Amino acid sequence: MSHDEKKKYTTAELDAMSNEELARLGTELDGVTVAFRKERFPIPNDPAEKRAAVMVGIYLTLGVVLALAFILVYLFWPWEYKYLGQEGLWMYSLYTPMLGLTIGLSIIFLGIGMVNYVKRFIPQEISVQKRHDGPSDEVDRRTLVALLDDSWNTSMIGRRKVIKGLAATGAALAGLSIILPLGGMIKNPWKAGKLGVQGDGTLWTSGWTLHEEGVKLYLGRDTGNMAQEHHGHFTTQGISRLVRMRPGDLDAAGMETVFPLPEDMVNDGDLYNPNADVYEEHMHSIHGPRNAVMLIRLRSADAAKVIERKGQEDFHYGDYYAYSKICTHIGCPTSLYEAQENRILCPCHQSQFNVLEFCKPMFGPAARALPQLPITVDEEGYLIAAGNFIEPVGPAFWERKS
């Protein structure tokens, strides 16, 4: 449509036109030719129209019911882990399939309902439009609104209150079904729970915080042991994932990742009991987000060059130093110990920390030293924590002072 053609219509002329006239004008001005158009139900209260409405209503109702079922399953189905042979395993194992089944069928039925609605109620139409360039002006905007209005009226959705309500409810519930599971991920980072081997849930605690409660914590080495088969079933009884370490277990210029191993969870050496099952607790310690510590044994010549941080002078035991493995940039495991240079490298963004100078950052985006864990050796010769970290482990958060 040319600019001149649109100019022929004044605001008064447009105001005087009916909605139908404006809709027709809109198609003409947009260069649209309606080659074919047929109303699905030109006669009001056609019995076929009612049958079609019932069918669409059934599909949408099923979609709504199944979306509600998904929410109920998500909230009330027994979801807590059950091991093989434990009571309730059958129900637990159906939790994920039930979530998938209800939300999947809900989306399918809502989709079928909407497709059926379009096929049975929206007028059949074949239109051809010429493309044109340039911005839309007043006449285009007015006629477009009129066209949309006309589509709404001819789609009969305004008349079909039940279908309209079911479609809106189904869409709202389907949306809720997608948003609802995200709620499980939202946690209050300041809410402290019971202090355990993973800390109390706040950002400034870890399993090592148990030391402040008088718990003796060994530096537990991860053996990687797995559940073993016994008379046809797998068991973790008598299997220790974490074991205590003595200084002699680590060579000079060596590094070992260790985790807090509380005294009452020890199952190795002279305390080994083949009937004890400490595996799960050990795994909790390994999975503690702030628990991993690098135990480093320096060469004696390097140890002589160490510059201690003020207030941490007695945190090491001989040539053994223990630093948090959680990068102070954004929390990756700083796993790479470069023994020749005595540097720790974080593989995420290449921060480097100087082991000979209290693991202070020397390159990369990390801005704080890796927290040092005070360590010593007990009367039996095992490496233990001599205290908790004196600063929070890992990246920055609002309350951090260091």
Q: Is 131 helix (H, G, I), strand (E, B) or coil?
A: coil
State in angstroms the smallest separation of the CB of 368 from ligand FES: 11
State in angstroms the smallest separation of the CB of 321 from ligand FES: 19
**Cα 361 to Cα 402: distance, rounded to the nearest angstrom:** 14
Taking the least distance from each CB to ligand FES, the nearer of 306 and 348 is 348
Taking the least distance from each CB to ligand FES, the nearer of 132 and 349 is 349
State in angstroms the smallest separation of the CB of 187 from ligand FES: 21
**Cα 234 to Cα 84: distance, rounded to the nearest angstrom:** 9
C-alpha Rg value of the chain to the nearest Å: 35
State in angstroms the smallest separation of the CB of 349 from ligand FES: 3
**Cα 321 to Cα 294: distance, rounded to the nearest angstrom:** 8
Taking the least distance from each CB to ligand FES, the nearer of 333 and 387 is 333
Helix and strand numbers (H, E) in the chain are 10, 15
Taking the least distance from each CB to ligand FES, the nearer of 66 and 366 is 366
Taking the least distance from each CB to ligand FES, the nearer of 285 and 351 is 351
**Cα 197 to Cα 175: distance, rounded to the nearest angstrom:** 38
- For 267, the token pair is 């199952």
Q: Which of 265, 264, 260 is nearest to 217 (CA)?
A: 260
State in angstroms the smallest separation of the CB of 231 from ligand FES: 46
Cβ contacts of 142 within 8 Å, gap of 6 or more: 14, 22
Provide the binding-site residues for ligand FES, judged by CB under 6 A: 327, 329-332, 346, 348-349, 351, 364-366
Cβ contacts of 349 within 8 Å, gap of 6 or more: 329, 330, 332, 364, 365, 366
Q: How many CA atoms lie within 13 A of 104 on its CB side?
A: 6
State in angstroms the smallest separation of the CB of 332 from ligand FES: 4
Taking the least distance from each CB to ligand FES, the nearer of 106 and 351 is 351
**Cα 220 to Cα 315: distance, rounded to the nearest angstrom:** 18
Backbone angles phi, psi at 246, to 5 degrees: -110, 160
Cβ contacts of 84 within 8 Å, gap of 6 or more: 233, 234
**Cα 19 to Cα 31: distance, rounded to the nearest angstrom:** 19
State in angstroms the smallest separation of the CB of 330 from ligand FES: 4
State in angstroms the smallest separation of the CB of 236 from ligand FES: 33
CB 67 within 8 A of CB 106: yes
Taking the least distance from each CB to ligand FES, the nearer of 74 and 323 is 323
State in angstroms the smallest separation of the CB of 385 from ligand FES: 24
Taking the least distance from each CB to ligand FES, the nearer of 142 and 368 is 368
Cβ contacts of 7 within 8 Å, gap of 6 or more: none
Taking the least distance from each CB to ligand FES, the nearer of 316 and 329 is 329
